[in-house]
A and B are shown apart, each in its own frame.
Chain A
Amino acid sequence: MRAFLNLLSLLAHGRRFRGVCLLVAIPSITAQLLAGSASEPPVSFRNDIVPILSKANCNSGGCHGAMAGKGGFRLSLFGYNPEADHLAITREAQGRRVEVSQPGLSLLLTKPTTTVRHKGGKRFDVDSEDYRTLARWIAQGAPGPQAGEAELSTLVIDPGERSVRIGETLTLRVKARFSDGRERDVTRWAKFTSTDETVASVDGTGKVTVIGPGEGAISAWYSSRIVIARITSPYAAEIPDSVYAAAPRTSAFDSLVLDQLKRLHLQPSPPADDATFIRRASLDTLGRLPTPAEVRAFVDDARADKHARLADRLLSAPEYVDFWAYKWSDVLLVSGARLRPAAVKSYYGWIRNQVADNTPWDRFVRQVVTAKGSSVEEGESNFFAVHQDPESMAENVSQAFLSLSINCARCHNHPLEKWTNDQYYQFANLFSRVRAKGWGGDPRNGDGQRQLYVEASGDLIQPRTGKPQPPAPLDAPAMAMTDTRDRREVLADWLTAPSNPYFARAIANRIWAHYLGVGLVESVDDLRASNPASNERLLAALADHLVSHRFDLKSLMREILVSQTYRRSSEILPTNREDRRHYSRFFPRRLSAEVMQDAIADVTGIREQFTELTLSDGSTEKTAFYTNSPRSVQLFDASVTSYFLKTFGRNQREITCECERSNQPSLVQALHLSNGSTVNDKLSAQAGRLNRLLGEGVDADRLVTEAYSVALSRAPREAERAAFLRMFQEAGPDQRASVAEDLFWSILTSREFLFQH
């Protein structure tokens, strides 16, 4: 009788049917299914049904997983909330979505098979395994998620790593192990994505086709878990093994790079010459050009350990402190647009002191995340003044120190990571007791005096359940809700533990990317399971190095500075031309905004003046912090008004992301270098280097040599020298000053100057 009524109710919505003949077919399928159902094992909503809905994309953001659902039917995005999904499927829409006595009449089956009209089109066939599983589940009474039911414990992909030639294919299998020991092939419910479609593409069944050379990866997603299969596709060239065997190695990292080059058939370029090397190492370690005397000393140094000596000298130079304090100020968002001047000063001052003391990175981070006290006394406490609610604190701690973006999990399970919505709120609850007097409102009000303290109680509510989640650092065990310790201490313990798989990798990747120009993981702000490193063993070795050297960042930098990998020339070989990721040669890159501005100042002998801040609403205010004409890398904050720095893409420090900085060339930059005040005014300034040289009456030959050695850290080649001297001669002695100015201009606008290489 019930079935009959349901038929009637379906008929009442008859306009949705394509033809009555379908109605005849449904009961027969149903009967067949029902007959088998009693003896079948129980179907799990969580482990069987949700994966089917996920694979068919029913719960994707474009369909029923949208915030607003689709067509009145809403599922949680990618199935992060099985309880709610079960409710939506079995209870909403007057229960028409499941029909226990006649599973074949359930909308859950008639819609996705387009037996009735479905805007989302056909998702599976009536004679598919998925259909039968859904029908069986309905026939079993459509039970919901059960307490104590087996949970997914591990997900494995096979093969996990494989070298495949272009044009070949490979089929991946995905296996799930459950907490009850059961193992199951879940390939057909896994969702496959290629992380680099120029290397390999993948279809819905896990069949991989290799398209181009390089290192690619296929990620498989199942039940909010991700596994990666790495695909190595060698370049076409055949390079004899002897090339790699003979390549010099001066660091443990060199072998790992060479192994990868060998796998990919990429030939390493020869080492750079000494002058190029010292320019590179000075720019990367100190953010400034080497002086001609420094270049000469290094070139003339005949000792075998001169690279190690140079590394030690650079790492203990005072400019190291300026440059790396600036770098960490980017990460920690030191900005006058968000803090009062007194707070900016103490925040920056604290960072600077840590760099000067070479505070180990774990201690540095521990002090930030457990900061307390006055914003003008305890500079590090301003980290929390910039992020004033538990969610922002959690997201930014994760972003800054783990390079993990967990923001997605604020509203639903992270689609590209294992982080669940519950884990997000567990993590954010670690910060729920952080308070300060004077927070809220416009951060630029008042004198900047704030007092940070930790309450003894208070929890963050997980909106989905209406209850707080027990606080826990991402995948660590939860604290007891009754624990009265500062929860951030527990966080710091987990964060900086040598066993934390994210912490050391994140900082190691940042440092490596800083020196080599390209991160092992790109971008450096985006470490996640579905975005693997281009050389996983190397990243693990860098992280291990940091752990075994107690997070001494200088020791990692030193190891990079003495390596052959860092020493490689940027010269292109026919056998490594296409390489963009694997360090077969040094990749030239544009100087960053601040470093370029300082380099121009050093060559011309005229410092930039900084007198004003530009706030986020566009208004300006005077600042007296910079009356001593500091270098650009000595600026405290990113709101200092500077057309040059803005145009050349400094990090504006609005969000925790290296991507806020842009080193990309543009037409506006070319116009500014050619015509703007930065180069032209400094060249013609009375007090500048050029006018001093002219005043000393040096000859054209000296001028050319001086310009090359100061700006390009090398002597002019004979052809270059001759060409310039000819131009001096043609113009005649009364034009000497303007020719000299044009000489310097041409060098300051050349790519050899603007790039590091």
Chain B
Amino acid sequence: MYDFLAESPQDRVRLCGPGVSRREFLQVGSLAAVGLSLPQYLQAKGAGIVKPADDRRSCIMIFNLGGPSHIDLWDMKPDAPSEIRGPFKPIRTKSNAFEISELLPRHAAIADKFSLVRSCHHDGAAVHDAGWQMMQTGRRFTGGIQTPHAGAVLSHLKGRRTDLPPFVVLPQLMGRGGGNLPNGQAGGFLGKAHDPFALMADPSQKNFKVPDLLPPDQIGAHRLERRRKMRDIVESSVAQFEASEDARLMDENFHAAFRIMTSEKAREAFDLTREPLKVRERYGMNRFGQCCLLARRLVESGVRFVTINTFLTVFDEITWDIHGSKPFTSIAGMKDIVCPMYDQAYSALIEDLSERGLLDDTLVANLSEFGRTPKINPAGGRDHWPQCFTAYFAGGGVKGGRVVGASDPIGGFPAERPVKPGDIVATIFHSLGLNHASHLPGPGGRPFTLTDLGTEPIRELFT
């Protein structure tokens, strides 16, 4: 799977790249273990992994859980037979390069801001979880090696920018996908210290606030400080916990909790009531809409990477998973419920970022685990199809209004410029100023390239 597998251990160390010795590598690894952030960043910078000028860049990854139908949305086939082209029609967009579905009129109006990659494919199983892990980490997990989420890599290499955690998932981690595989939204071999902060709440709820962000009223600053001191007394006698990753993580989390509790700026970032009602309504008063708004606030306040899960699971919820029959979603469910909500929130996010001058520094990547079968199934839906699907990107240096790659006449396979999950993740790293060919300390100190050898960022998006 990895080219350097065939080489001897000595060779692998040499592969760390110029200027990084094995010793330094191990050091990076051990720092990660205790959750230090700044020295890592300095080391990474010294090693040429991070380009300092790009430190402003952030990423919002919108993960379209369920697998949207590329043929009904972004890669329509109006000339194909009816069982393939489906019931919807393409409309003109603000880009001369492409049309998209009538289900996404607001996307059409801002098509000059985003670019489509119509030739994505992967060779993992056609189950949700497999695609989740591949599209978010760039790799399929084999041999017990769990590749970190792109946001966890950023957390590891750059640490947090402010009192807020570097990597946040909204509204919560992905739920069941049916395949019972790791979903890729974790720190993987970089350690749990780089797991995302998952909100665990619905920001569209009436009295939404991040649970337990502040101590009870009677606990003022003085008592908070006393509590912290007292906790240190008890904590001083558990040296044997330091070999336990979970125990270290618990401690890290208490420190992080304390940082957020005592930083007004950090707490404000989560406070949606500071947004005018008009802005909130522009995003849509639903879970996904308010997550998009919250993502903008978080990025504005210094969070480096926000992943929004459009849905929580593919079961018992109206999602992109349009098999046509229960417990999944019908094509009508996608048309009437999913698309309007999605179209409104996405366009609001892009316009808002653009108006605030944040779009250049914020990559917005819309990904999914796969596309859907070219042929409509007997239930009137479409099934899983990893052989060909569309992803799209805006901001973060991406030039909008373009199409990269193409699918064949029925959207069944890439016809031009096939793009693998590793290429997608490399593209994210590229926008964030990370060299995808540089190395991370894997399990046992074994170096891993950020994405596999043979993957490349989609450079046409940027030039």
Contacts and interface: CB of A to CB of B under 8 A. Distances in A.
B178 to A, nearest CB: 9
Contacts of A571: 240
Interface string A657-681: 1010001111111111011100010
Interface in A195-235: 195-198, 201, 203, 209, 211-212
B350 to A, nearest CB: 29
Given A198-B446, A664-B192, A671-B212, A750 B235 contact: yes
B258 A751 contact: no
Contacts of B229: 727
B80 interface: no
A356 interface: no
Contacts of B276: none
B243 interface: yes
Contacts of A724: 230, 233
B160 to A, nearest CB: 12
Nearest to A570: B240
B253 A203 contact: no
B97 interface: no
Report which residue of B9, B198, B236, B244 has the largest number of chain A beta carbons within 10 angstroms of its beta carbon: B244
Contacts of A141: none
A67 interface: yes
Contact of B216 (A663, A675, A752): A675
Interface in A42-69: 61-63, 66-68
Interface residues on B, range: 35 or more
A739 B198 CA distance: 33
A364 interface: no
B212 A752 contact: no
Contact of B144 (A196, A647, A676): A196
Contacts of B446: 197-198, 211-212
A211 B213 contact: no
A63 B122 CA distance: 11
B124 A62 contact: yes
Nearest to B189: A198
B254 interface: yes
A755 B242 CA distance: 12
A616 interface: yes
A670 B247 CA distance: 12
B142 A67 contact: no
Nearest to B228: A746
Contacts of A750: 231, 234-235, 238
Contact of A757 (B143, B144, B165, B240): B240
Nearest to A408: B125
A588 B246 CA distance: 8
B211 A672 contact: yes
Interface string A586-607: 0111100000000000000000
Contact of A588 (B144, B234, B247, B387): B247
Contact of B250 (A738, A742, A755): A755
A654 B176 contact: yes
Nearest to B254: A670
A195 B143 contact: yes
Contacts of B143: 193-197, 201
Interface in B314-360: 315-316
A738 B223 CA distance: 8
Interface in A701-757: 717, 719-720, 723-724, 727, 731, 738-739, 742-743, 745-747, 749-755, 757
B243 A577 contact: yes
Contacts of B227: 674, 742, 745-746
Contact of B212 (A674, A720, A739, A742): A674
Contacts of B163: none
B14 to A, nearest CB: 15
A547 interface: no
A572 interface: yes
Contacts of A752: 234-235, 237-238
A751 B236 CA distance: 10
Contacts of A667: 165, 197, 253, 256-257, 260
Contacts of A195: 143-144
B124 A670 contact: no
A755 B241 contact: yes
Contact of A727 (B198, B226, B244): B226
Nearest to A576: B243
A681 to B, nearest CB: 8
Question: Considering residues A655, A669, A724, which has the most beta carbons from chain B within 10 angstroms of its beta carbon?
Answer: A669
A723 B233 contact: yes
Contacts of A657: 180
B233 A588 contact: no
B244 A746 contact: no
B195 interface: yes
Contacts of A684: 218
B260 A751 contact: no
B213 A198 contact: no
A167 interface: yes
B233 A720 contact: yes
Contact of B231 (A587, A659, A676, A746): A746
B229 to A, nearest CB: 7
A723 B192 CA distance: 33
Contacts of B223: 738, 742
A675 B226 contact: no
A751 B123 contact: no
A570 B251 CA distance: 18
A589 B246 contact: yes
A340 to B, nearest CB: 18
Interface in A344-378: none
Nearest to B249: A665
Contacts of B5: 201, 203
Interface in A558-581: 569-572, 577
A483 interface: no
Contacts of B249: 664-665
B444 interface: yes
A674 B200 contact: no
Nearest to B176: A654
A229 to B, nearest CB: 15
Contacts of A63: 123
Contacts of A616: 315-316
A300 interface: no
A211 B144 CA distance: 14
Residue of A63, A193, A663, A749 contacting most chain B CB atoms (<10 Å): A749
Interface in B368-413: 387
Contacts of A61: 123-125
B180 A659 contact: yes
A589 B231 CA distance: 19
Nearest to B178: A655
B214 interface: yes
A574 B197 CA distance: 33
Given A167-B9, A670-B257, A572 B216 contact: no
A616 B376 CA distance: 29
14 contacts: A66-B123, A66-B387, A193-B142, A195-B144, A198-B442, A201-B5, A643-B211, A664-B195, A665-B246, A669-B253, A670-B256, A671-B212, A674-B254, A755-B247
Given A211-B444, A666-B197, A680-B215, 13 more contacts: A198-B444, A569-B240, A588-B240, A588-B244, A588-B247, A590-B247, A670-B250, A719-B236, A720-B233, A738-B223, A743-B230, A746-B234, A757-B238
The 7 closest A-B CB pairs, nearest first, are A62-B123, A746-B230, A197-B143, A665-B250, A670-B253, A670-B257, A750-B234
Interface of B: 5-6, 8-9, 123-126, 142-145, 165, 176, 180, 192, 195, 197-200, 210-216, 218-219, 223, 226-227, 229-231, 233-244, 246-247, 249-251, 253-254, 256-258, 260-261, 315-316, 387, 442-446
